[in-house]
């Protein structure tokens, strides 16, 4: 990744003179007109481009009408239980340093109503409680509204700057991970969400970057449960080049938890519930980093859509003896049969619910497509019938749906039904404005979002390529969700690409898991 070309000595000098830690906050507080913030500078280096998970247009192929026999006997057994506890378990015995940004006369970013230094400390205290609950030992660089920790200050020459105090504190406190807690600010007031920073010159740069990648993915997913999809800023971890990040002798990241320059982020951080949920997710991300660092395999979920109609590739797919997730269209002639067969063979089953698209030929819809014109009760009725049509389902994902997923009311009814049935929701991500994650968040429904489609090009070679790109992403961030399709448009080659690629993916140290292991 390209480095941000700040002259280091100049930065250090400026920081010491200003007496603040965060350059981001500093730029806004002291030099609003003359200085670009780090965020704005970083943009010039293309660090903030949307990632590969941009929404794709609706799939609009018509389901295959081929009628192939699928019946085959195999022993019945229950699907594996969920195991979301593992990342938290990895926190046991870990020593985590929380460098609480700003303090005392240095209030950081924000206004008097929402000062960065106060938010940093509130979140740090809450995060400490959560991390300790999961067995970690936690150390704060300050636990009061002061420039640095009293422990650090007492131990050191009083002439040392607050930056040096923090560096000395990090050097004198043995630890496994340092997380600097800050709020960001940008001159572009649309920028929001969490942003991770690390330093490539830290002696634990590889682990620092890994922690940043893993936390970035977790927190971007976390944010998606609170904001409209169109508002999500898909940050990528940036090389922060801060003295504390560089000189701390342990894996170190700075977390800009949200952006005080954004009105909606500011409001979110005044909500205690949001702060609490955020600390849970930071703890989860930290635990996930530790578990990956200790050799736990990264995870990949493959969902195959458009079953239910004996479509091309279905037989081959159901012969794959591995934990793929199948999404079965309800109300088709083979919906129930394929659902039973998939369940027998230990595939997790989703209802592949047909949702209205912005632009699509009507032949791409299955019967009982949910449109924005339907009343709440009509939507509930369709979902109930879909449930009967696809027995064994553990959740829902959307077939098409660029219009309906962007509709707050429709998504709310679907999330409510998911909650009632103890289902998870997977967004196939066909709209930039999807409200599904937010609705799932409102109802406390486990949620996952597609990261990659693997058969946009409808050919074997590009499916293999997409699978390997997804695997590389899973390796970097800890997990990836991919979606492919059965059907006349290359279903067989998609399944063959999966079968041929799985050994390579597993050799990369990636575990293929059912979607319930990733949704949260």
Q: What is the number of the residue whose Cβ is closest to Zn ion? A: 399
* Dihedral class, residue 102 (left if φ above 0, else alpha if ψ from -120 to 50, else beta): left
The phi, psi pair for 240, rounded to 5°, reads -80, -30
Q: How far apart are CA 155 and CA 99, in angstroms?
A: 17
Residues forming beta bridges with residue 14, ordered by sequence position:
none
Nearest-approach distance from CB 455 to Zn ion, in angstroms:
11
Nearest-approach distance from CB 58 to Zn ion, in angstroms:
8
Non-local CB neighbours of 323 within 8 Å, separated by 6+ positions: 80, 346, 347, 348, 512, 513, 514
Nearest-approach distance from CB 52 to Zn ion, in angstroms:
20
Q: How far apart are CA 88 and CA 235, in angstroms?
A: 25
Strands 479-485 and 452-453: parallel
List the one residue from 117, 399, 438, 492 that touches Zn ion (CB under 5 A). 399
Nearest-approach distance from CB 424 to Zn ion, in angstroms:
17
Half-sphere exposure (Cβ direction) of 86: Cα atoms closer than 13 Å: 17
Nearest-approach distance from CB 313 to Zn ion, in angstroms:
13
Structure tokens at 340: 């039973």
Nearer to Zn ion, 41 or 485 (CB): 485
Among the listed ranges 204-212, 252-260, 287-295, 300-308, the one in contact with Zn ion (CB under 5 A) is 300-308
Nearest-approach distance from CB 399 to Zn ion, in angstroms:
4
Asked if 451 and 420 count as a contact pair (C-beta separation under 8 A), the reply is no
Residue 306 contacts Zn ion per CB under 5 A: yes
Nearest-approach distance from CB 352 to Zn ion, in angstroms:
6
* Positions 23 through 52 that interact with Zn ion (CB under 5 A): none
Q: How far apart are CA 36 and CA 38, in angstroms?
A: 7
Among the listed ranges 93-101, 204-212, 242-250, 298-306, the one in contact with Zn ion (CB under 5 A) is 298-306
Could you give the 3-state DSSP secondary structure of residue 326?
Answer: strand
The count of chain residues that interact with Zn ion, using the rule CB under 5 A, is 3
* Positions 156 through 185 that interact with Zn ion (CB under 5 A): none
* Positions 90 through 149 that interact with Zn ion (CB under 5 A): none
Q: Which of 252, 97, 283, 101 minimizes the C-alpha distance to 173?
A: 97
Nearer to Zn ion, 217 or 399 (CB): 399
Among the listed ranges 12-20, 199-207, 396-404, 445-453, the one in contact with Zn ion (CB under 5 A) is 396-404
Residue 407 contacts Zn ion per CB under 5 A: no
Nearest-approach distance from CB 365 to Zn ion, in angstroms:
10
Residue 450 contacts Zn ion per CB under 5 A: no
Residue 305 contacts Zn ion per CB under 5 A: yes
Nearer to Zn ion, 478 or 487 (CB): 487
Nearer to Zn ion, 306 or 356 (CB): 306
Nearer to Zn ion, 214 or 483 (CB): 483
Residue 265 contacts Zn ion per CB under 5 A: no
Nearer to Zn ion, 128 or 399 (CB): 399
Non-local CB neighbours of 448 within 8 Å, separated by 6+ positions: 301, 424, 425, 426, 427, 481, 515, 518, 519, 520
Asked if 115 and 108 count as a contact pair (C-beta separation under 8 A), the reply is yes
Nearest-approach distance from CB 354 to Zn ion, in angstroms:
8
Nearest-approach distance from CB 423 to Zn ion, in angstroms:
18
CB environment 53-72: b (16+ within 10 A), e (fewer) = bebbebbbbebbeeeeebee
Asked if 177 and 294 count as a contact pair (C-beta separation under 8 A), the reply is no
Nearer to Zn ion, 140 or 357 (CB): 357
Among the listed ranges 186-194, 301-309, 416-424, 430-438, the one in contact with Zn ion (CB under 5 A) is 301-309
The residue ranges that bind Zn ion (CB under 5 A) are 305-306, 399
């Amino acid at each position: 990744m390209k480095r941000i070309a700040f002259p280091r000595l100049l930065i250090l000098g400026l920081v010491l003179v200003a007496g603040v830690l965060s350059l981001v906050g500093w730029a806004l507080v002291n030099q609003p007109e003359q200085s670009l913030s780090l965020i704005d500078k970083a943009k010039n280096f293309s660090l903030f481009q949307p990632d590969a998970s941009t929404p794709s247009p609706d799939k609009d192929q018509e389901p295959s009408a081929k009628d192939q026999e699928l019946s085959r006997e195999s022993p019945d057994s229950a699907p594996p239980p969920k195991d979301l506890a593992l990342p938290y378990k990895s926190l046991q015995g870990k020593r985590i340093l929380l460098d609480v940004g700003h303090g005392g006369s240095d209030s950081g970013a924000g206004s008097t109503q929402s000062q960065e230094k106060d938010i940093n400390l509130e979140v740090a205290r809450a995060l400490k409680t959560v991390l300790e609950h999961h067995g970690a030992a936690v150390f704060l660089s300050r636990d009061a509204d002061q420039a640095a920790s009293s422990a650090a200050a007492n131990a050191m020459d009083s002439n040392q700057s607050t930056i040096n105090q923090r560096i000395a504190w990090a050097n004198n406190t043995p630890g496994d991970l340092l997380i600097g807690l800050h709020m960001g600010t940008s001159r572009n007031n649309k920028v929001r969400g969490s942003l991770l920073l690390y330093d490539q010159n830290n002696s634990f740069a590889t682990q620092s970057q890994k922690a940043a990648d893993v936390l970035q993915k977790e927190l971007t997913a976390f944010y998606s449960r609170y904001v409209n999809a169109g508002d999500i800023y898909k940050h990528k971890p940036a090389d922060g080049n801060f003295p504390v990040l560089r000189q701390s002798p342990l894996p170190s990241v700075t977390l800009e938890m949200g952006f005080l320059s954004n009105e909606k982020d500011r409001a979110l951080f005044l909500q205690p519930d949001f702060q609490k949920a955020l600390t849970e997710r930071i703890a989860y991300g930290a635990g996930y980093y530790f578990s990956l660092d200790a050799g736990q395999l990264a995870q990949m979920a493959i969902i195959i859509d458009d079953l239910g109609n004996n479509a091309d590739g279905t037989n081959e797919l159901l012969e794959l003896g591995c934990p793929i997730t199948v999404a079965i269209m309800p109300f088709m002639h083979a919906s129930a049969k394929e659902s039973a067969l998939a369940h027998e063979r230990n595939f997790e089953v989703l209802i592949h619910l047909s949702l209205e698209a912005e632009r699509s030929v009507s032949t791409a819809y299955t019967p009982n497509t949910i449109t924005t014109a339907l009343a709440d009760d009509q939507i509930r009725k369709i979902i109930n019938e879909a449930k009967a049509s696809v027995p064994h389902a553990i959740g829902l994902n959307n077939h098409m749906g660029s219009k309906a997923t962007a509709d707050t009311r429709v998504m709310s009814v679907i999330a409510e039904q998911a909650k009632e049935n103890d289902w998870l929701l997977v967004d196939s991500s066909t709209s930039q404005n999807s409200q599904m994650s937010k609705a799932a968040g409102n109802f406390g429904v486990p949620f996952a979002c597609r990261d990659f489609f693997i058969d946009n090009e409808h050919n074997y070679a590009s499916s293999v390529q997409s699978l390997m790109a997804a695997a590389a992403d899973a390796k970097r961030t800890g997990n990836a969700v991919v979606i492919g399709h059965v059907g006349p448009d290359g279903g067989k080659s998609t399944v063959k690409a999966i079968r041929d690629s799985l050994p390579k993916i597993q050799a990369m140290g990636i575990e293929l898991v059912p979607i319930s292991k990733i949704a949260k």
